[in-house]
Structure 1
Amino acid sequence: MIVAGLDIGASVTKGVLVDEDKIWALSEVQASDSLASGLGCLGKLLSNANVKMRDISKIALTGSIGRGFKLDMIELKYKVVDESRAIGIGGLYLSGKKEAVVASIGTGTAIVHARSDQARYHVEHLGGTGIGGGTMIGLGRLLLNKDKASTIFKQARSGDITRTNLLVQDLVGGPIGIVPANATASNFGKVGDETRLEDIALGLIVMIAETIATVTYFAAKQKSLEREIVFVGKLPSEKLFSEKLVETSSILGGKAT
C-alpha cells in the first residue's frame, strides 16, 4: 500500500512516498501557492518513484493548509493530519523513540511532546519560536545579499566564529562550570573591521541553531525529557547546523538527535 505524504509549508512543500515501512521517494518544491505546490510536489514524487497516480492508495496532508484547500481534482482519498501530530509521530518514527520532545524546524520552529502507547499516540503542542529557516533567508538577504540556504551554508563553511561571536573564553579566559570556553557568550558580540562575509554567514547559522536548541531544551526540561530531544526539518539535514544543535543541547545538559 503506497501512501503519499505532503507537508505544505510556508516557504517549501515537501513530500514522501511510503510503502509500509519503506521510503520510496522524496521531493521538494518552492511554495508560493499551496494548491499548486502540493500538486507539483505530488507529481515530482510520482516521477521520482516511477509510479502512476493509480498506484497511490491514499494521501496524507499537513502543514499550512487553509480551510478551503482541496485536492478533489485528483480523485484520490486524502486526509488532513493535524500538524502537531504529524511532527510528533513523525519524529518518533524517524528516531525510533517511544517518547520524545520533537522540534520541527521549518520557516519557524514548532515544539511538541510525543509518546507512543502501543498503537496509540499522544501528542501535545508545547510551543515554538519564530526563529527558523525564514530567519536565515531574511537575514541572509539583509546581511549577505544571499537568499538561498544552500549558498549561505556554503559561504559559512569557510567562516571563523571567533571573528563574529564573543566567546566565554574571551571574558574569563576559560570555561565557567559546565560551560566550555568555546561556548557563545554573545552572538555577533565580536564583530569588527576584520569580520568577513563568511564569518557573518557562520555567525548567522550558529545564532539560529543555538536559539532553537536552547528553547527546545527548556521545553523538554519541563517534561523531564531533556535527554530525549529530536530535531527534524530541512535545516537539521545540514551537518553544520545539526552539529550545533547537538552541541548546544549537550552544553545545557541535554541530549539530542
Structure 2
Amino acid sequence: MNLSLGIDIGSSSTKAAALDEHGTLLGTLQVHADDPRTSAYGVLGRFLDQQGASFDDVEKIVLTGLGSTYFHENIFGIPTIHALELDAIGHGGLYLSGLDEALVVSLGTGSAFIRASRTNGFRHLGGSGVGGGTLAGMAERFLGVTDIFALSEMALRGNKAMADLRIADVQEEDVPGLAADLTAANFGRIKSGASDADLAAALFNMIYENVGVMASLALSQDTTRNVVLTGSLASLAPAAKTFDIFNQMHDVFGIDYIIPPHPSFATAVGALLCEPLPEN
C-alpha cells in the first residue's frame, strides 16, 4: 500500500483522509481535538490501524488547519508538509463534488466562502462568524445541550415554524420572488407551545439559511451556480433538510446547493491536492 495522508487540525476536532497513488480516497477518520499535537499523532496511529497499514506505507503527510502551526518537523520520520487551509477547502470541495468550479463553503466553527476553479485557482471571498460555534454556544446556553449529534436528532423532531416568523406569516398573498416558507425573522415569533425540539430546529435553520442566502449573494454576479457545502456542520441531517428546501426554491435563488459525500473531510482531502507551502 502506498498512501498520502492529509490531516486537518481544527479547533474542536482533527480529521484525516488518505488518497492512494491514483488519487482514490481510501478512508477517513475524525477525533476530538483537545491538543493539536496529541490529536494529530493520535489520528495518524488510529487511521493506520483502521486501514491495516504501517508508517512505511505513508509516502507523505500534509497538514492544514489552525493547529498545523504547532508542527515544524516530520512526523515519525515521514515527510511532512503544510498546505494553505483556504486552498485546501476549495480543492476538497471540487474533488468530493466532482465539479470543475463552484463556490465552496466550509461550515466549521465559523463559515468560509471560497470561489474555487480547477483552471483559475482559488479565491477567498470572505467568511462569517455564524457557524458551528454559534450553534454549540446557543444550544448549550438556551437548551442545555452540548452533544451536537443529540441536538441534530432533536432538531429533526422539531418544527421551526413554532419559533420563526415566516414570509407566510406576514403576507396574505404570494409575492413573486418570495417563497412562503422563507424566514422573515429567525426566532421572530416563538409560540407559547414551542418545545426544545422546535427551538433546536429553528437554531439549525438560522445557521444554514443565513449561510445559504450569503452564498447566493456571493454568486449574484458570477457565472457558476453551484454551491458545495463542506465541513462538520454540513454532514448533519438538518443540513440536508434545509438545503433540500433551498433547492426546491431554485426559482428564488437560482443556485444548486450540493452536499457531497464525506463533507466533514473536504479540507483534509484538499490538503493533499494543494501546492505545499514554502518552509520557513
Q: Fold-level match, TM-score > 0.5?
A: yes
Matched-pair contact (CA < 8 Å) for 2:36–2:70? no
Question: Is the counterpart of residue 232 in structure 1 residue 243 in structure 2?
Answer: no
Q: Which moved more, 1:188-197 or 1:171-180?
A: 171-180
Name the residue aligned to 1:87.
Answer: 89
Query: CA separation of 1:145/1:27 partners in 2, compared to 1, >3 Å: closer, same or farther?
Result: same
Name the residue aligned to 1:4.
Answer: 5
Name the residue aligned to 1:17.
Answer: 18
How far residue 62 of structure 1 moved from its aligned partner, in angstroms, is: 0.8
Name the residue aligned to 2:241.
Answer: 243
How far residue 112 of structure 1 moved from its aligned partner, in angstroms, is: 0.7
How far residue 74 of structure 1 moved from its aligned partner, in angstroms, is: 1.1
1:190-218 deviation digits (Å, cap 9, x = unpaired): 11321110000000000000011111221
1:101-146 deviation digits (Å, cap 9, x = unpaired): 11011111111111112xxx61111101011111111111011101
Query: CA separation of 1:97/1:103 partners in 2, compared to 1, >3 Å: closer, same or farther?
Result: same
Q: Report the identity percentage.
A: 31
Q: Which moved more, 1:39-48 or 1:202-211?
A: 39-48
Structure 1 residue aligned with 2:74, among 68, 72, 75? 72
Q: Which residue identity lines up with residue 59 of structure 1 in the other structure?
A: I
Structure 2: where are the runs of 5+ without partners? 259-280
Q: Which moved more, 1:104-113 or 1:58-67?
A: 58-67
Query: CA separation of 1:186/1:200 partners in 2, compared to 1, >3 Å: closer, same or farther?
Result: same
Name the residue aligned to 2:206.
Answer: 207
Matched-pair contact (CA < 8 Å) for 2:152–2:237? no
Number of equivalences: 253
* Secondary structure, aligned partner of 2:30: strand
Q: Distance in 2 between matches of 1:246 and 1:61?
A: 33
How far residue 246 of structure 1 moved from its aligned partner, in angstroms, is: 4.8
Q: Comparing both chains, which one has the higher relative contact order based on Cα–Cα distances under 8 Å and sequence gaps of 6 or more?
A: 2
Name the residue aligned to 2:62.
Answer: 60
TM-score (norm 1): 0.92
Structure 1: where are the runs of 5+ without partners? none
Q: Which residue identity lines up with residue 257 of structure 2 in the other structure?
A: A
Matched-pair contact (CA < 8 Å) for 2:229–2:257? yes
* Secondary structure, aligned partner of 2:255: coil
* Secondary structure, aligned partner of 2:157: coil
Question: Is the counterpart of residue 163 in structure 1 residue 162 in structure 2?
Answer: yes
Matched-pair contact (CA < 8 Å) for 1:235–1:242? no
Q: Distance in 2 between matches of 1:68 and 1:201?
A: 36
Name the residue aligned to 1:110.
Answer: 112
Question: Is the counterpart of residue 187 in structure 1 residue 186 in structure 2?
Answer: yes
1:58-94 deviation digits (Å, cap 9, x = unpaired): 1111111364423534110011000111011111111
* Secondary structure, aligned partner of 2:127: strand
Q: Distance in 1 between matches of 2:123 and 2:114?
A: 6
Q: Distance in 1 between matches of 2:35 and 2:219?
A: 34
Matched-pair contact (CA < 8 Å) for 1:174–1:180? no
Q: Which residue identity lines up with residue 40 of structure 1 in the other structure?
A: G
Q: Which moved more, 1:230-239 or 1:86-95?
A: 230-239
TM-score (norm 2): 0.85
Matched-pair contact (CA < 8 Å) for 1:160–1:202? yes
Q: Distance in 2 between matches of 1:183 and 1:67?
A: 41
Q: Which residue identity lines up with residue 42 of structure 2 in the other structure?
A: G
1:173-192 deviation digits (Å, cap 9, x = unpaired): 34321222111111111113
Q: Which moved more, 1:235-244 or 1:145-154?
A: 235-244
1:34-74 deviation digits (Å, cap 9, x = unpaired): 11111111112112111111111111111113644235341
Q: Distance in 1 between matches of 2:8 and 2:154?
A: 29
* RMSD of aligned alpha carbons: 1.6
Matched-pair contact (CA < 8 Å) for 2:12–2:32? yes
